[in-house]
Chains A and B, each alone.
Chain A
Amino acid sequence: MSFKKSGKKKHFQNKAYLYLLPALTVAAAFCWYPSVKSIVESFLVVNQGGKVIGFAAFDNYRRLFSDQAFLHSIKVSVTFILLFVPANTFVTLLAASLTRRPSRLSFIPEYIFFTPVAVSLSAYSLLMSDIFRGEASVLNNLFSTAFSGITTPAGAMAVLVILGIFLDFGLDYILLMCAFRSIDRSVIEAARMDGAGGWRLYWCVEVPMIKNTVLVTIFLALKDALLISAPIIILTEGGPYRSTETIMFYYYTEAFRSGNRAVQNALASIVLLIAGAGMTVYSIFKRKKEAL
């Protein structure tokens, strides 16, 4: 009897592996393998055809960090992160706060705030590149302003931040708005009975209760800001004067236009390291929160 049981158990085991096979195959082929390969090759000399022809130690990294264009791209990315993350958090939190209590007509702004999730990256990028195409633009015409749009370095950075916010807005809004509405009504009623209303209720009761969701959106914004490249390909091509050449746009041009394997592998490894560190901090933090 016991013999039979263990036989059955073994049967179960094998089936589980079969069910996991597709997931493992994709994860191994397109996540693990390329990551390990990037890191290993970043320490090797690889020729254009992909053949390993020597050991490079840290030479690839040295080359990367002696490239002025790369150093510049770090500056651009840091600027973008510092502008985008706070602006995005403020705007999405404001939108969610304004609609946190449903009312008769609130479905209209709610739907409008939902729409960015349905609009593609390339659609928003194309729209922004026309709306902010230069001093002669529809908005400048409307408000009699003289915003330079994507034609000057500062203007292009501002447009990129605006575009970034549009790309993240929908999802962040949905998460934050639903978090607000998940707050237990009785907590708010109790705070009201104690005389807390308006600002006090908002800042001392409601915001602290959705703190975790706010942190999730900040984390997502950080990740998106660090990895931004596709909107730049459509919007500015890194210009003007390299003012919007972020780290990942630099990676894209080096890897796919210059075919620079050495720099590509070194940079990919650094990004993997940063992303890994970031995710580790995030998951430790999250686990701590859940334990509380």
Chain B
Amino acid sequence: MGKTVQRTAYDSFRHVTRIILLVLMSVIVAFPLFYMFSSSLFSASDFNNLRLFPASPVWENYTRALNQKFFWRNMLNSVGTSILASVLRTAIAVLAAFAFTYFKFRGKNLIFTALVLTLFIPQEAVLYQNYRTIAKLGLLDTWAGIISTSLFSAAQMLLLMGSFKAQSKEIYDAARIDGATDLRYLTGILIPLSGPAILTVAIQTLIVTFNSYLWPLLVTNRSSSRTIQIAMTMLGYAESGQLGPQMATLVIATAPFLVILALAKKKIETTLTRR
């Protein structure tokens, strides 16, 4: 009896500690985002007075953010490159994964190894040489320049191969006998069957491209060809102490992904949790 009481006391102590830690950590992790939303409504004096909430919300920050000379252009560059990269990178990985899972050909192992070994090469280490290549091809300040270096991911190819291997090869043979071309089999059967994996790859590329910083910074020089992630660091409000419109730009560029994440959270969890 005594033991049970002790146990419960200990359990509730653990429970309370857990709740306190959880609240504390949630507040810390959420703080920069809270500050982003709050300070997007700050006046210059709110920044100087180190406030947590605006004295009175300055909605004008948003109109100023939207009226920046290149805002829409920069946004279009970001959205355009992300969608383009997402489609092309997914297509390239799908084709490669398809070739490796469905065909026998000479040099298969060698080619596979060569592609997987790209995982060993961090893009950061080849920045300069890739910059030279893009410059030589005349692709500076273009969408192609922003996306072309990252159009193949071995990790995504491996992920797709895992998913393709789970599909029965007999369906492929049957489809072939029925006269379906590879393209028809891919678009009509394999891609719909591997939906979650392909969606994962596409969304991952979309977010990574939209949020990328260093490479777009290097290959763009003109204000009109920059992506929003680069533009937001170069707004020049810092000097005047008027960070409000800058924070509003951050909110505009971040909020859509927070919504997508809220919608996709359950899906991500079920994809990654093996039961």
| B21, A98: Cβ atoms closer than 8 Å | yes
| B207, A118: Cβ atoms closer than 8 Å | yes
Give 8 new A-B contacts, CB below 8 A, not counting A34-B130, A178-B272, A230-B217. Answer: A17-B99, A19-B103, A26-B148, A30-B152, A118-B254, A119-B32, A123-B36, A279-B119
Contacts of B272 in A (CB 8 A): 174-175, 178, 182
CB distance from B140 to the nearest CB of A (A): 13
CB distance from B160 to the nearest CB of A (A): 11
Residue of B nearest to A138 (CB): B50
| A-B pairs, 8 with minimum CB distance | A34-B129, A120-B211, A118-B257, A178-B272, A34-B126, A16-B103, A26-B152, A19-B99
Interface residues as binary, B121-142 with A (CB distance below 8 Å gives 1, 0 otherwise): 1101111111111000000000
Considering only residues 62-118 of chain B, those with a C-beta below 8 Å from chain A are 91-93, 95-96, 98-99, 103-106, 108, 111, 114-115, 118
Contact with A126, one of B22, B233, B275 (Cβ below 8 angstroms): B233
CB distance from A124 to the nearest CB of B (A): 6
Given contacts A12-B103, A12-B104, contact A279 B182 (CB under 8 A): no
Looking at chain B's contact residues, the main secondary structure is: helix
Q: Say yes or no for B274: interface residue by CB 8 A criterion.
A: yes
Contact with A94, one of B21, B103, B131 (Cβ below 8 angstroms): B21
Residue of A nearest to B48 (CB): A136
Considering only residues 95-119 of chain A, those with a C-beta below 8 Å from chain B are 95, 98-99, 107-119
| B229, A182: Cβ atoms closer than 8 Å | no
Contact with B32, one of A127, A140, A251, A276 (Cβ below 8 angstroms): A127
CB distance from B90 to the nearest CB of A (A): 12
Q: Which residues of B contact A (CB under 8 A)?
A: 10-11, 14, 18, 21-22, 25-26, 29-33, 35-36, 39, 47, 50-52, 91-93, 95-96, 98-99, 103-106, 108, 111, 114-115, 118-122, 124-133, 148-152, 154, 157, 182, 207, 210-214, 217-218, 229-230, 232-233, 243, 246, 250, 253-254, 257-258, 260-262, 265, 268-269, 272-275
Interface residues as binary, A231-270 with B (CB distance below 8 Å gives 1, 0 otherwise): 0011000000000000010011001100000001100100
Residue contacts A-B, CB under 8 angstroms, 12 given: A12-B105, A19-B103, A29-B133, A30-B152, A31-B152, A35-B125, A115-B258, A122-B232, A138-B51, A227-B122, A256-B131, A268-B129
In the complex the two chains form, what is the Cα distance from A107 to B269 in whole Å? 11
Residue picked from B104, B122, B148, B230, most chain A C-beta under 10 Å: B122
Residue of A nearest to B107 (CB): A17
Q: Say yes or no for A192: interface residue by CB 8 A criterion.
A: no
In the complex the two chains form, what is the Cα distance from A26 to B147 in whole Å? 11
Given contacts A15-B182, A113-B26, A279-B120, contact A130 B275 (CB under 8 A): no
| A27, B115: Cβ atoms closer than 8 Å | yes
| B95, A22: Cβ atoms closer than 8 Å | yes
Q: Which residues of A contact B (CB under 8 A)?
A: 9, 12-13, 15-17, 19-20, 22-24, 26-27, 29-35, 37-38, 50, 91, 94-95, 98-99, 107-128, 130-131, 136-138, 140-142, 166, 169, 174-175, 177-178, 181-182, 198, 223, 227, 229-230, 233-234, 248, 251-252, 255-256, 264-265, 268, 271-272, 275-276, 279-280
Residue of B nearest to A223 (CB): B122
Residue of B nearest to A101 (CB): B18
Contacts of A223 in B (CB 8 A): 122
Contacts of B122 in A (CB 8 A): 223, 227, 271-272, 275
In the complex the two chains form, what is the Cα distance from A17 to B100 in whole Å? 10
CB distance from A95 to the nearest CB of B (A): 6
Contacts of A255 in B (CB 8 A): 127-128
Contact with B29, one of A37, A115, A233 (Cβ below 8 angstroms): A115
Residue picked from B11, B98, B128, most chain A C-beta under 10 Å: B128
Given contacts A13-B106, A109-B22, contact A38 B125 (CB under 8 A): yes
In the complex the two chains form, what is the Cα distance from A185 to B39 in whole Å? 45
In the complex the two chains form, what is the Cα distance from A17 to B51 in whole Å? 61
| A130, B243: Cβ atoms closer than 8 Å | yes
In the complex the two chains form, what is the Cα distance from A272 to B120 in whole Å? 8
In the complex the two chains form, what is the Cα distance from A249 to B217 in whole Å? 14
CB distance from A56 to the nearest CB of B (A): 17
